[in-house]
Amino acid sequence: MTNPGIHIMIMGVSCFDGMAGSTRVRNLFEPLISKNLLQAGNLIYQTDNKVPIGKEGRLNNINFRIIGFRLDNPFSIFSFWGKGMSFLGKSRQAGAKNIIYNYNYPDLKNIVFLMYGRMIGYKIVFDIIEDNRFEAHVGFINKIRIKTSLVLFKLSKYFTKAYIAISDHLYKRAAENAKGKIPVYLVPITVNLDYFKLNGNRVNGNNLSIFYGGSFAPKDGLEYLLDAFEEVSKKNSNIKLILTGLGNAADVDKIKTKIAASAAKDRILFKGFSSTEEYYSTLNSCDIFCMTRVNSQFANAGFPFKLGEFLASGKGVIATKVGDVTKYLHHEENALLINPDSVSEIVEALSVFINDPGKINVLGAAARKTAETNFDSEKISMELLSVFNSI
């Protein structure tokens, strides 16, 4: 294969599991790789992939290496660093522009790799997808990692070539940190439209499926959705709620306990983590999609990734007015918008779609157009390529 001239080392996220970070990376890079516009490697610290892929190899035209680190053995940090630096060195391509694309912030996990990579000729780009100042500190190690990431982020303008940000809030934060020394680019959420082949089937109101997908964290407001579904189900026997995702064990257990206590539990299907094929099959079969994030600083800073997929489905979307949502969505035009932290407003929005299924079709068509116009991964990947070409 000919060398396309740009080699990207993806760090901070696995390209091969099914959560939002992996999907963002795949949507951004796979169109470019398939067109032979760049080559890519993936240095993976650990993976949540339910299908074993081995320690190293090549999948989807991406070379990968999983290096691992065990908290129960502090000395494993030396193996972690050694394996990571070795992979960076072996992957570097002579004559090409070598770039480290780092998903989110510099921190204790990646700073050694970033500095080593820079020393051997990699240029560094950070993709900022959340505001770590508002990150919940779960566990002592994670608290230290988050705290140090804030310090390292302030210093990163001295060793990076560009910032990418997923939302307006994060764009402004990155620009404030850059102080004009390096460029900052807005690269919003993306969706691979190939997963959403519209087949012309219209929702008729029989046996409506309501969908939620995510991490089950407090920021996602799933408790409000469960309460609202229980209320609406009292008057509607033709609805069910499908939940998919993967999250912190304590968060998932809390949601499962709430489901078990619900009067509507027989109509709530908790699917947990799904393979890519199963996930999109489920998503395409549903009728109403709910993004119910709470009104927190953390929720308002980012941009919920799943929203792009919900819009691409061409069905009914209910979304809370947080972050960049109102920049793209307008009430009664391409979605139903609600205030966060409100069970009553979720109930009202669900009832609108349930009582008038035709509205799902009308708003769904506009939602699909919004996804095509603003979040098409084919288009946005080319914008990302222009960033790499410019540094």
The model's pLDDT over 89-105, given as tens digits with 9 standing for 90+, comes to 999 999 999 999 999 99
Structure confidence at residue 15 (pLDDT): 92
User: According to the model, what pLDDT value does residue 388 have?
Assistant: 97
Distance between CA atoms of residues 298 and 49, nearest Å: 26
For 130-147, write each residue's pLDDT tens digit: 998 887 656 677 788 888
Q: What is the C-alpha to C-alpha distance for residues 42 and 24, in angstroms, rounded to an integer?
A: 14
All domains of the chain, ordered by start, with CATH? 6-190+376-390 (3.40.50.2000), 193-374 (3.40.50.2000)
In this prediction, residue 1 carries a pLDDT of 39
pLDDT score at 199? 55
**Rounded distance between C-alpha atoms, residue 170 and residue 386, angstroms:** 20
Per-residue model confidence (pLDDT) at position 48: 58
pLDDT tens-digit profile, the chain (391 residues): 344 699 999 999 999 877 788 999 999 999 999 999 999 999 999 765 556 788 899 999 999 999 987 666 767 788 999 999 999 999 999 999 999 999 999 998 899 999 999 999 999 999 999 998 887 656 677 788 888 999 999 999 999 999 999 999 999 999 999 999 999 999 999 999 999 976 555 666 678 999 999 888 888 999 999 999 999 999 998 899 999 988 888 899 999 999 999 999 999 999 988 888 889 999 999 999 999 999 999 888 989 899 999 999 999 999 999 999 999 999 999 999 999 999 999 999 999 999 999 999 999 999 999 999 999 999 999 999 999 999 9
CA distance 271 to 218: 19
Q: Residue 193's CB: how many other CB atoms inside 10 A?
A: 20
Pull the structure tokens for residue 334. 């391409």
Q: For the whole model, what pTM was predicted?
A: 0.92
C-beta separation of 364 from 351 below 8 A? no
Of 16, 298, 304, the C-alpha closest to 188 is 304
pLDDT of residue 86: 97
Count the neighbouring beta carbons within 10 Å of the beta carbon of residue 320.
Answer: 26
Instruction: Reduce the DSSP state of residue 278 to 3 states and report it.
Output: helix
Q: Find out whether 291 and 317 touch, Cβ atoms under 8 Å.
A: yes
